[in-house]
Structure 1
């Protein structure tokens, strides 16, 4: 069972594009991790999922 679907997330800060067209599903009982270089957008994505950052659909 899928508990969360992420489709087409884009996020930028000023002119710097942090996330572009992020897409994934999280299934029930899954363990997930965010891995990447410094500045790759891991914390930003985690904050979007958690709800600390609100995305505005344009």
Structure 2
């Protein structure tokens, strides 16, 4: 039963990783060429941090 939970968790993490990566890509496409606003950079940095955290978890499994 434990293996099933790990696999299910891994699947969920992979789906979340794909969702966050897509969201990050959309945010980056929407950035202006100049004068990036602080809230835009903060949103990107938060997504990058969460993506990295999920990748680390997946690599440990």
Flag whether TM exceeds 0.5 (same fold): no
- Structure with more relative contact order (C-alpha pairs < 8 Å, separation 6 or more): 2
TM-score with structure 1 setting the length? 0.29
TM-score with structure 2 setting the length? 0.28
